[in-house]
Amino acid sequence: MNEQEYLNAFAQNEKEANRYTAKCLRVLAVIVAIVWLLNIIGIFTVPVDVMTIAAPLSMAIFVTPTFLLRFFRKKPYRMKYFIMLCCVLGITVLSGALPKHSIVAWAAPIILACHYYSKRLSWGTLAATTVCLLASLIFATYYGEWDPYLLRSLPYEGERRITAEMLSMSIQYYGLPRCMILAGLNFTCATLATRTRKLLELQVKESAEKHRIESELNVATQIQTSMLPTAFPEREEIDVFASMSPAREVGGDFYDFFMVDDRHLAIVMADVSGKGVPAALFMVIGKTLIKDHTNPNCDLGEVFSNVNDLLCESNSEGLFITAFEGVLDLVTGEFNFVNAGHEMPMISRSGEAFAAHKIRPGFVLAGMEGIRYRAGTLTLEPGDKLFQYTDGVTEATNAHDELYGMQRLTDVLAVNANRTPREILPAVRADIDAFVGDAPQFDDITMLCLEYKARMIPAEEA
């Protein structure tokens, strides 16, 4: 957190505090108006001429901050001090007329100072409140609500006779105890303000840290996205399309496709256990190793066996990868594949409905050293399609905790079997989104579709 972020957070809080404090003072102005009305009808024993001056003056002082905030909306510098001064002065005027009945009002400046999260302002407000309370008490003895001992109200007619003893008793038995009560209240409020300020500072720090992490995750997302192939091959023999939607900023799923040589296309679909940054980093390692070990005429079982041993050596987090790799001979249509605990591929023969191709799942990569994997083979004819995916598709969950499931996937693939790979994947994703609704995405959703359109003519025969 830099200094500017810190200052901006407290400047914003000060603006909000100014607004709420001014609102509270407007409420006090309304209360004074009600008190004035009660005095007119004889509820309070305050000289009418005194109340006629005190009530309008205190009301004017209370509403002044509201007008000034509108005028200095863009320049609220030190406005808090003026607002608190208006609060103290307004209550001083009111207390000078009604010393006994307005005693509770002296707590208002102490409490309102808490809005600013400033221990210094709280104690400064207490000092000003104490001085003004004693001053208003002396003024009230001469001109305010009549009470010879400021303990009980008595009707009084004629000239007041104020003695030094009365003033001493007023301050000793009335003023000082209330000042001590206000000091205790201020201590509580100042402590609350200090704790709240620390919480705000912590919130600012956490917000800055969160922003930093989000920035780094955005960079990680861009890096991960750039690692996945997005330039889909434009060839007469094949059509490939793939997509990945991570559940978080970065995900553990990945797909890949690349030409092993002039006539062989490799496709890869994999899912790393876990989510987030650790899974994404392990994904990078797994993707790189699989591609580096896939060579022409290589046995895919050996590829996965070697990759598995290498992943086990650098797997301190205990992660694993379910993966499927296939290599298509564009000339013959032979499709060699290997599966390491991944989903079964879905195959459509010449526009017919997709059906799961049952194969041995094998053991996951990075789960145990020394595992030997077996490759399998099948033949694709021109017009056949292969759809591969991660478990985030079938395990997508709606608000009722229902899984999307294999049956829904099979149904939506059957409806779209005659469409191109670029059209099939968005159709499947739209069906998943319609099923899930507003429920959050818990797992990465990755799909790849390959269409074998025509046999490749070898160069020596062309």
DSSP string across 11-41: HHHHHHHHHHHHHHHHHHHHHHHHHHHHHHT
- Region of residue 366 (left: phi > 0; alpha: psi -120 to 50; beta: else): left
pLDDT > 90 in the chain, percent: 39
Comparing 127 with 423, the larger pLDDT belongs to 423
Reported in sequence order, the residue ranges of 208-263 that DSSP labels E, i.e. its strands, are 238-245, 253-259
Same domain, 209 and 243: no
Q: How far is CA 427 from CA 407, 414, 431, in A?
A: 15, 11, 6
CB atoms within 10 A of CB 329: 19
Beta bridge partners of 262: none
Same domain, 178 and 273: no
Q: How confident is the model at residue 120 (pLDDT cuts 50, 70, 90)?
A: confident
CA distance 367 to 435: 33
Assess whether pLDDT exceeds 90 at residue 240: yes
Same domain, 235 and 359: yes
Assess whether pLDDT exceeds 50 at residue 33: yes
For β-strands 355-356 and 376-379, DSSP reports them as unpaired
Assess whether pLDDT exceeds 70 at residue 241: yes
Assess whether pLDDT exceeds 60 at residue 157: no
Most confident of the ranges 36-40, 242-246, 252-256, 288-292: 288-292
CA distance 366 to 322: 9
Same domain, 190 and 239: no
Specify the CATH number for the domain of residue 264. Answer: 3.60.40.10
**pLDDT computed for residue 153 by the predictor:** 40
Same domain, 245 and 307: yes
**pLDDT computed for residue 224 by the predictor:** 67
For β-strands 334-340 and 346-348, DSSP reports them as unpaired
φ, ψ dihedrals at 214, nearest 5°: -65, -40
Domain containing 354 equals: 229-452
**pLDDT computed for residue 35 by the predictor:** 81
Query: Residue 26 domain-assigned?
Result: yes
Task: Give the DSSP H/E element, type plus range, for residue 119.
Answer: helix 119-143
Query: Residue 220 domain-assigned?
Result: no
Assess whether pLDDT exceeds 80 at residue 418: yes
Query: Residue 457 domain-assigned?
Result: no
SS3 at position 5: helix
Comparing 264 with 120, the larger pLDDT belongs to 264
Residue range 284-301: average pLDDT? 91
Same domain, 108 and 242: no
Same domain, 300 and 325: yes
- Region of residue 409 (left: phi > 0; alpha: psi -120 to 50; beta: else): alpha
Query: Residue 462 domain-assigned?
Result: no
Same domain, 273 and 146: no
Sheet of 346-348, strand order? 238-245, 445-452, 384-389, 346-348, 355-356
Assess whether pLDDT exceeds 60 at residue 363: yes
**pLDDT computed for residue 149 by the predictor:** 46
Q: How confident is the model at residue 173 (pLDDT cuts 50, 70, 90)?
A: low
Beta bridge partners of 241: 449
Question: What is the per-residue pLDDT across 186-214, written as a single tens digit (0 to 9) for each?
Answer: 777 777 777 777 777 777 777 777 777 77
Handedness of CA 85, 90, 96, 98 (dihedral sign): negative
Query: Residue 218 domain-assigned?
Result: no
Q: How far is CA 425 from CA 323, 409, 429, 446, in A?
A: 20, 11, 6, 10
Assess whether pLDDT exceeds 70 at residue 236: yes
Dump the DSSP string for 125-175: HHHHHHHHHHHHHHHHHHHSS--TTSSS-----S-----HHHHHHIIIIII
**pLDDT computed for residue 160 by the predictor:** 62
Same domain, 23 and 90: yes
CB under 8 Å to 318, separation ≥6 — which residues? none
Query: Residue 116 domain-assigned?
Result: yes
Query: Residue 459 domain-assigned?
Result: no
What's this model's pTM, rounded to 2 decimal places?
A: 0.61
Most confident of the ranges 65-69, 219-223, 368-372: 368-372
- How many structural domains does the chain have? 2
Query: Residue 427 domain-assigned?
Result: yes
DSSP 8-state secondary structure symbol assigned to residue 343: P
Assess whether pLDDT exceeds 90 at residue 98: no
Residue range 171-189: average pLDDT? 75
Mean pLDDT (the chain) is 84
Q: How far is CA 274 from CA 91, 164, 172, 308, 310, in A?
A: 63, 83, 72, 18, 19
Same domain, 68 and 177: yes
Same domain, 193 and 282: no
**pLDDT computed for residue 154 by the predictor:** 40
pLDDT > 70 in the chain, percent: 86
Query: Would you state the structure tokens that stand for residue 113, as one six-digit string?
Result: 């100072």
**pLDDT computed for residue 187 by the predictor:** 76
**pLDDT computed for residue 268 by the predictor:** 95
Cβ contact 317:349 at 8 Å: no
**pLDDT computed for residue 152 by the predictor:** 42
**Measured over all CA atoms, what is the biggest interatomic distance in the chain, rounded to whole angstroms?**
130
CA distance 90 to 102: 11
CB atoms within 10 A of CB 430: 11
Assess whether pLDDT exceeds 70 at residue 146: no
Assess whether pLDDT exceeds 50 at residue 248: yes
Lowest mean pLDDT among 15-19, 327-331, 332-336, 435-439: 15-19
Reported in sequence order, the residue ranges of 79-123 that DSSP labels E, i.e. its strands, are none
Same domain, 133 and 258: no
Lowest mean pLDDT among 221-225, 236-240, 356-360: 221-225
CA distance 77 to 225: 47
Comparing 244 with 448, the larger pLDDT belongs to 448
CB under 8 Å to 208, separation ≥6 — which residues? 1, 2, 5
CB atoms within 10 A of CB 424: 24
Residue with tokens 């009230």: 140
**pLDDT computed for residue 460 by the predictor:** 65
